[in-house]
Amino acid sequence: MQDVTDLPFMRLIAHYGAPDYFFTEFLRVHPQSRPEKHILRSIDENATGRPVFAQLIGEDLHHLARTVTELLQHPVAGIDLNLGCPAPKVYKKNVGGGLLREPAKVGEILGRLRAAVPGLLTVKMRIGFDDTCHYDRLLDLMNEHRVDLLSVHGRTVKEMYRSEVHYDFIARAVQRVRCPVLANGNITSAPRAGAVLAQTKAAGVMIGRHAIRNPWIFRQCREAFAGQPVFRITLADVREYVERLYRETLTPEIAEILHVNKMKKYLNFVGQGVDPEGAFLHAMRRAETEAELFAICDRHLLAEPERAFAPEPFPGVIARPNCETPQGAGHGCSLESITA
């Protein structure tokens, strides 16, 4: 998730129960690009004990290959191509989800990447741009270019995050491609992950935004898949998570109000499981200082500390559009995965 899946957030997720592997934020590839230093840090300084795949977004064949050569000097688990980002500012540049309109171009990119990547090559895609007319051809390209892992978000680019997820299309990919397939889209909880796996027969699930709301979700999935008791999250646990999140993502040079505002974007997700009326969300959006923010957290999370945090987002409790995610996390461009 862009501006989310950085080194501090990876450390934080690993503290509560790491996924099987991480994908970085996407590295923008164009003629003037160089791998972003903070993204390289998430690879070079990764101490989570989990592999990290470097995620690329771009269309220039030469510069994609050049970037791969640079990245292979770092301890990457593999190279991931983003064919799923639905942000208009991205697809209008004919990268991310925009490339799904041009299967021939996708084939050229995969061919060039396959030649440049001696190890694992993975792809994240949606089921189409504004329709699914190219879907089967795109799946066949995954076989043709020997992609090692395919993650499928079961919506078109134009559907963004508004529609129901078309899990039948993910099941179709499982049947058609030779590599393992990860199911993505509305994986809100461990029971939901289990239901999606049963429906699609996918090899695992990819989880993005709901790991912001519930960093225990990977641990809970692992417990559920193993038939073990699933960890019960309390509001006191959530209060501790918010404190740790604030400290982990704090940098000395950022002003207090800016960091409080950044926290609000994370807490838009957390608040979906605190109370069905959205009172926590309403209050925290008005905080302007660290002291005010944590006073609100104490009032809403420690009044009944042993009360369960909702395992699914409360219906109707939604993030405000202008601060839904930390600077683009809703684009679903970088995610974490867990296999069944």
323 is catalytic: no
Binning pLDDT at 50, 70 and 90, where does residue 220 land?
very high
pLDDT attached to residue 320: 54
| Tokens 């209060």, residue located | 239
Q: Does residue 225 sit in the same domain as residue 240?
A: no
pLDDT of 332 strictly over 50: no
Binning pLDDT at 50, 70 and 90, where does residue 327 land?
very low
Q: Does residue 181 sit in the same domain as residue 269?
A: no
pLDDT attached to residue 324: 35
Residue 317: inside a domain, yes or no? no
Q: Does residue 154 sit in the same domain as residue 303?
A: no
CA distance 310 to 159: 27
CA distance 327 to 280: 21
pLDDT digits (tens, 9 = 90+) for 114-153: 999 999 999 999 999 999 999 999 999 999 999 999 999 9
Find the radius of gyration of the CA atoms of the chain: 20
Residue 315: inside a domain, yes or no? no
pLDDT of 162 strictly over 80: yes
Q: Does residue 160 sit in the same domain as residue 289?
A: no
Residue 164: inside a domain, yes or no? yes
Residue 322: inside a domain, yes or no? no
Total number of domains in the chain: 2
pLDDT of 337 strictly over 70: no
Binning pLDDT at 50, 70 and 90, where does residue 338 land?
low
pLDDT digits (tens, 9 = 90+) for 285-300: 999 999 999 999 999 9
pLDDT of 329 strictly over 70: no
pLDDT of 334 strictly over 70: no
Residue 252's alpha-carbon distances to 178, 240, 249, 258, 259, in angstroms, are 48, 21, 10, 12, 10
CA 96 to chain centre: 14
Residue 11: inside a domain, yes or no? yes
pLDDT digits (tens, 9 = 90+) for 93-118: 999 999 999 999 999 999 999 999 99
Residue 1: inside a domain, yes or no? no
pLDDT attached to residue 3: 80
> Which H or E run includes 54?
strand 52-57
Q: Does residue 171 sit in the same domain as residue 304?
A: no
Binning pLDDT at 50, 70 and 90, where does residue 35 land?
very high
pLDDT of 325 strictly over 50: no
CA distance 204 to 224: 13
pLDDT attached to residue 321: 41
Q: Does residue 70 sit in the same domain as residue 167?
A: yes
Cα atoms found within 13 Å of the Cα of residue 80, Cβ hemisphere only: 30
CA-nearest of 328, 77, 48 to 215 is: 48
What is the identity of the amino acid at 320? R
Q: Does residue 239 sit in the same domain as residue 293?
A: yes
* 8 Å CB contact between 207 and 189: no
Q: The tokens of 319 are what?
A: 């993030």
Q: Does residue 130 sit in the same domain as residue 194?
A: yes
CA-nearest of 60, 57, 108, 61 to 84 is: 57
> Which H or E run includes 194?
helix 190-200
Question: What is the domain range of residue 26?
Answer: 7-231+329-339
Residue 194's alpha-carbon distances to 43, 77, 122, 152, 203, in angstroms, are 30, 26, 23, 16, 11
Q: Any idea what the CATH number is for the domain that residue 132 is in?
A: 3.20.20.70
Residue 203: inside a domain, yes or no? yes
**Catalytic hit among 85, 221, 297, 333:** 85
Q: Does residue 14 sit in the same domain as residue 115?
A: yes
Q: Does residue 241 sit in the same domain as residue 225?
A: no
Q: Does residue 281 sit in the same domain as residue 225?
A: no
Residues above pLDDT 70, as percent of the chain: 93
pLDDT digits (tens, 9 = 90+) for 240-274: 999 999 999 999 899 999 999 999 999 999 999 99
Contacts of 335 (CB under 8 A, 6+ apart): 1, 5, 23, 124, 151, 184, 206, 207, 208
Residues above pLDDT 90, as percent of the chain: 90
Mean pLDDT, residues 191-206: 98
pLDDT of 323 strictly over 90: no
CA distance 73 to 95: 25
pLDDT attached to residue 78: 98
Residue 136: inside a domain, yes or no? yes
Q: Does residue 70 sit in the same domain as residue 162?
A: yes
